[in-house]
Amino acid sequence: MAAEDVLEVQVRRHVFTSARPFAEIMDGIYGGISQPDIVRLFRELAASTSYEQFTSLVRQAQGSAGLMRFLELELDSALAFDPQAQGSAGRRLVRLIAGNPVTMGEMTRHVPDAGSYAPVTILIEELPGGGTRLAYDSVVSELAIYDDLAATQVAANLDTEVIGLLRQVSGLSPTRDAEAAS
């Protein structure tokens, strides 16, 4: 039997605007998100013989925010050639895809659809007059429709780490209560 379901997912987007320059923001993000040789790491993870070995490799590779860079997309490259995006010429726009295989596993064991939201995306935009804008979609909000406490707790910890890092690099206080952060 085949079926198609359409679920409405309400997303809470956190947007941070900072007077700090783009390069400084990127350096700050990579202060909390590691940049391992992802091909080598995934090869080592695939060769793991136990969950303990797997989690140990992830812990060694992750940054202080518990995340590692999987992919960095330079979205501004396409804009540089787009004649209708002349106002964007010379500005940076980066989509950073970051995650943690253990965290993803902890969420997807409860809600397989969580794999659609982890790894997470952080969008970093250099603003025309200087400064930087960052955007992040809360994983807690993306998983709310599934009403699973265990997955939501993992997502809340993930959101707290990412939002804390983005607040810090933006020049805001890195801590807020958990309910406000998600």
DSSP bridge partners of 133:
17, 125
Cis check: omega of the bond before 128, within 30 degrees of 0: no
Whether 161 is covered by a domain: the verdict is yes
Whether 117 is covered by a domain: the verdict is yes
Alpha helices in the chain (DSSP H): 22-32, 38-46, 51-61, 76-81, 101-108, 139-143, 149-170, 178-181
Whether 3 is covered by a domain: the verdict is no
| Whether pTM exceeds 0.85 | yes
Q: How far apart are CA 100 and CA 103, in angstroms?
A: 5
Low-confidence ranges of the chain (pLDDT < 50): 178-179, 181
Domain total of the chain: 1
pLDDT of residue 91: 82
Whether 85 is covered by a domain: the verdict is yes
Q: What is the DSSP string of 159-175?
A: HHHHHHHHHHHHTS-S-
Whether 48 is covered by a domain: the verdict is yes
Whether 95 is covered by a domain: the verdict is yes
Whether 5 is covered by a domain: the verdict is no
Q: How far apart are CA 109 and CA 28, in angstroms?
A: 32
Query: Which domain, by its residues, includes 29?
Result: 13-181
- The CATH number linked to 126 is 3.30.310.70
Whether 7 is covered by a domain: the verdict is no
Q: State the maximum Cα–Cα separation within the chain, in Å, rounded to a whole number.
A: 55
pLDDT of residue 69: 95
**DSSP 8-state class, residue 119:** S
